[in-house]
């Protein structure tokens, strides 16, 4: 069953605006990851945040993690048309359990 | 350096036919995975192999079998295809179970 649930399911913004996507999960985690999928392609890893971290940056990406609320957010600043894609969160549990992916957020950036 | 290679990229089967999806990686990773992706369902894990010589069921293993042929190769077999198995299948690899995954480009399977 899905562990992470992204919100919103779809998001449409203008180029230059910021895009925020949220992920909620149910059980304790070791880490949380975000992936991007361009149409018709495989998923590409964006960023990993560990359970003892609260915020992480990578270029125009900012990820936060609130383990008390079991939630994470992905912020893409100054969005570009090339950021149009689906974004998935994936949670890594403790022990030897594989990543579990959410259903994704479809982001459309309009030029 | 191809990363993760899946074959075939497209396949059309009739109900009851069998086929094998192949996945090969040149990243020297220990773990390999097979996911399926359906509209509105995200990615669901079918089977995975934490290391050469081991395989384990994921969330949706029914109707599938896997073989970890060696460290590089992990195949997914459909013995008797059903229309419900129409999907896009992704192979992924990673160094550890909960670490970053690297995905292939997908195999698009249609079962008529």
- Calpha distance A60→A78 (Å, rounded): 7
CB-nearest to A42 from B50, B98, B106 is B106
Q: How confident is the model at residue A97 (pLDDT cuts 50, 70, 90)?
A: confident
Are B103 and A97 inside 8 Å of each other by CB?
A: no
For A102, the token pair is 């959410």
Tell me the chain A residues in contact with residue B58 when contact means C-beta distances shorter than 8 Å.
98
CB-CB: which of B58, B59, B103 is closest to A43? Answer: B103
**What is the pLDDT averaged over residues B8-24?**
98
**Binary contact (A97, B97; C-beta < 8 A):** yes
Q: Specify the pLDDT at position B96.
A: 79
pLDDT at B76 over 60: yes
Least confident of A37-41, A55-59, B92-96: B92-96
Whether B42 and chain A come into contact, CB under 8 Å, resolves to yes
The model's pLDDT over B31-55, given as tens digits with 9 standing for 90+, comes to: 999 999 998 788 999 999 999 999 9
pLDDT at residue B95 above 70?
Answer: yes
Q: Which residues of B touch A40 (CB under 8 A)?
A: 106
Cα–Cα distances (Å) from A42 to A14, A106, B63, B79, in that order, read 25, 15, 23, 25
CA distance B103 to chain A (A): 6
pLDDT at A95: 67
B97 pLDDT more than 60: yes
Q: Average pLDDT, stretch A64-82?
A: 97
pLDDT at A1 over 80: no
Q: Of the given ranges (A59-68, A94-103, B20-29), which has the lowest mean pLDDT?
A: A94-103
Percent of chain B's residues with pLDDT above 70: 99
Decide if A88 and B42 are in contact by the 8 Å CB cutoff: yes
pLDDT at A2 over 70: no
**3-class SS letters over chain A:** CCCCEEECCEEEEECCCCEEEEEECCCCCCEEEEEEECCCCCEEEEEEEECCCCEEEECCEEEEEECCCCEEEEEECCCCHHHCEEEEEEEECCCCCCCEECCCEEEEEEC
């Amino acid at each position: 069953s899905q562990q992470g649930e992204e919100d919103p399911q779809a998001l449409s913004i203008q180029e230059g605006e910021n895009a925020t996507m949220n992920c909620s999960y149910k059980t304790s985690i070791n880490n949380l990851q975000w992936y991007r999928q361009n149409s018709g392609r495989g998923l590409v890893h964006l960023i990993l945040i560990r359970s003892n971290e609260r915020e992480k940056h990578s270029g125009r990406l900012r990820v936060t993690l609130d383990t008390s609320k079991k939630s994470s957010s992905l912020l893409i600043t100054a969005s570009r048309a090339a950021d149009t894609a689906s974004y998935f969160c994936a949670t890594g549990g403790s022990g030897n359990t594989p990543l579990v992916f959410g259903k994704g957020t479809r982001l459309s950036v309009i030029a | 350096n191809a990363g993760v290679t899946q074959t075939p990229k497209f396949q059309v089967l009739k109900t009851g036919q069998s086929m094998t999806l192949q996945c090969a990686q040149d990243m020297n990773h220990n773990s390999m995975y097979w996911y399926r992706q359906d509209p509105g369902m995200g990615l669901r894990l079918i089977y995975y192999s934490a290391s050469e010589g081991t395989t384990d069921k994921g969330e949706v293993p029914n109707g599938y079998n896997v073989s970890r042929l060696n460290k590089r190769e992990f195949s997914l077999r459909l013995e008797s295809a059903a229309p419900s198995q129409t999907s896009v299948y992704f192979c992924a690899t990673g160094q550890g179970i909960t670490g970053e995954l690297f995905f292939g480009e997908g195999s698009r399977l249609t079962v008529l």
